[in-house]
Structure 1
Amino acid sequence: MNEEGFVKIGGIEQWVTIKGEDCRNPVILFVHGGPGNPMTPYANSPYRPWEKDFTFVHWDQRGAGQTYGRNPIEPETEEHILSVEGLAADGVEVAAFAARHLNAPKLVLFGGSWGSVLGVHMAKRRPDLFVAYVGTGQLVGPDNDKESYRKTLELARASGDKKTVEMLEGFGLPPWTKPRTPGLLRRISRIYEAKTTDPAPVSWWSRSPQYSSDEALINYGKGEDFSWLQYVGMKGDGMRYGVDLPKLGLDFEIPVFMIMGAEDLTSVPEVAKRYFDSIRAPQKEYFLLPRTGHDHNHIMIEAQYKVLATKVRPLLR
């Protein structure tokens, strides 16, 4: 099975791909991160081997990738066009479409990084659509920025990197009002993550031919810029500052599995673990991976597959 195309979601056409070797396999809805970073151009590399056991549904969110190309908006707009609630509503529509289209009684909801925020919102809105929620690089709320800043500054001081320390101290404590600050912090934290983590193979980030055209590259880049500015806001008023998952309630109607990198400086694992410990679900398990940061690597991909194969798949029987 290899289907792709635009589907009417939330009143606009949004790009959805479906891949798998057997339509009877469990269906995974992958909610990408960023925001603005769909996995569709790269999914053939890290996740292709899974297609013999699972059917994958990838969706380019509103404002991202092919969906952005179909519905372009100037990246620098100061209008608040994207919202967590709106994107989560889109995600629920995608899930309902996939369930109907594939005749799947329930889907596995799989959210990473920014997608983990939407994933929790979706799981709370429509638990009837999902057999379980699997979150990786789980974001939670304001404590993510505080702990990311604190730990990155601590590492910079310990390494004697005076220039970086000076830059970080200039940011001050979050919340921030300058749109560049969160991105600069992430660039710095990636440098320190790289010192203690195993990298992903470069081949994973080779684009599929259909996503390598000039038009596709432009759409991806503009969508990334637009989504990021909607995320951070022009005056510290972006989507990220409204994220506070505990306020949604701590009770889940479906099993929850959380997979975190021990070296993650964006979704700091201590923040995710506090949230995980506070939630109530029919079943829940937390996995902390060594030599793994916020981004994909072999350790993360193997752990994700193991959780899906040994913990989630049996729930569908």
Structure 2
Amino acid sequence: MRISVLGAGGWGTTLAILLHLNGHEVTLWEYKKSYAKILNRHRENKIYLPGIKIPKEISITHDLETASFNKHMLVIAIPSQFVRNVLKEIKKFDYKNTTFVSVAKGIEKKSLMTISQVIKDEIKDIQSPAIGVLSGPSHAEEVSRKIPTAVVAASTDISTAKQIQATFMTSYFRVYSSTDILGVEYGGALKNVIAIGAGIVDGAKFGDNTKAAIMTRGIAEISRLGIYLGARPETFSGLSGMGDLIVTCMSRHSRNRYVGEQIGKGKKLKDILKSMNMVAEGVETSKAVHQLSKEHEVETPICSAVYQILFEERDPIKVTYELMTRDMKSED
């Protein structure tokens, strides 16, 4: 297949290499012209994926039309808040026989849409079977080194989900299929907010008990909101739900956990983000979750606490105390 990966961050670069090793003709698109030249010259993504060589057969370009024209599949590995602007350009080209696969894990903060919904909204004549997502517990730092990993490919059309599954499946990258595209997307996006909370626990040195509580009650919040928005309950106990939550809350590779950890240590959000090369999707997603929860009157106390700490600069210790002393509840 002729496949373009849009976005040359760590994950986009990793997937481009994986797809090349699977025998596909791969193009990697980098939005900065100067960095595209650096990638071509060194064949290594030294900022986002150091130590991993990019095979010479992978074409690297800054030109979006070159990357998008006459491709069987476009893999969208762009931070979620920038996806719509790229789609506005892509829809000028011929995409009639192209499958769009989102690997972004976020919710657009203005529209409150998942990325599959953004694709459908921006490219009006695209059919739902031409849209899919790939998500799950999968850090680029590990997949690029062929560490065994399992993820989920989802689409409203099972044949599309299975096409994506077959395209990405390798001996070290196991792909399951699903038709619950919203569940897979909400799991991948909302867990980033909980991971910031888990990082705050680490930074404030609360302990393992606290972190276990955050993760367990966090998946309850993710499920509650996701089900209300149209997802299936069982999806949140799978790889794109609980699986992704575990790895993002626990891993040293997690950007969202790192942001929370620095907040827990007393640093300011703007200073943390300024020091990072990569995007922590959970920061903007926390705004979207806060709005969704308010609009639909769905209780998400941990996500609300993260929002308050990030954007209202509330003290993590005081907010945690408030979480612990809420009215008594049943776990059901």
Q: Structure 1 length as normaliser, TM-score?
A: 0.31
Larger helix share, 1 or 2: 2
Q: Which has the higher contact order (CA 8 A, sep 6+)?
A: 1
